[in-house]
Amino acid sequence: GRDRRTYRFLKDTRIGRVVLAESTEMKPVADQVTRYVAERVVERQRMLEGGVEQAVAGLKRALVPEAEPPLRSVTRRKRWSTFLSGLGLIAAGALVGLAVSIVLFWDRLVAMGLSFGP
């Protein structure tokens, strides 16, 4: 007879494994995998936007009043401060790179006849 395979889509949870789909046909299991991945992507996007609503309908979580509010947008002054500190880090890295290059290639610079002293 024909060898019948059983396809399973499992989800590991804290309480153990949960079977999300099981079939002898690959298509229903693949459809369930697609649906699960889409739900996770939507759930992740909502969480990044500050929402706490689950992507799966019917799953409601109790609101926690002492939870932190969603992140506020960064003020204009803070943006400039962040930009300038990043620019400073790049400049510092460039100076360190230049110093290391001079130390490593000192013999070649002297051989070229470059004079760095008075």
Domain around 7 = 1-71
Asked whether residue 5 carries a pLDDT value surpassing 80, the answer given is yes
Taking only the tens place, the pLDDT of each residue in 52-99 is: 555 566 666 666 566 566 566 556 678 888 899 999 999 999 999 999
Average pLDDT over residues 35-42: 94
Q: At CA 104, angle to CA 86 and CA 115, rounded to 5?
A: 100
pLDDT, position 80: 82
Average pLDDT over residues 96-113: 90
Radius of gyration for the chain, computed over Cα atoms and rounded to the nearest angstrom: 29
Average pLDDT over residues 32-56: 84
Do 41 and 56 belong to one domain?
yes
Taking only the tens place, the pLDDT of each residue in 6-37 is: 899 999 989 999 999 999 888 999 999 999 99
Number of independent structural domains in the chain: 2
The reply to whether 116 falls in a domain is no
pLDDT, position 4: 79
Q: Is 101 exposed, middle or buried (0-12, 13-18, 19+ CB in 10 A)?
A: exposed
Close Cβ partners of 30 (under 8 Å, ≥ 6 residues apart) = none
Average pLDDT over residues 34-47: 92
Strand ranges (DSSP E) for the chain? Answer: 7-13, 16-23
The reply to whether 88 falls in a domain is yes
Do 64 and 93 belong to one domain?
no
d(CA 4, CA 14): 31
Do 22 and 52 belong to one domain?
yes
pLDDT, position 110: 84
How many CA atoms within 13 Å lie on the side-chain side of 81? Answer: 5
Do 83 and 61 belong to one domain?
no
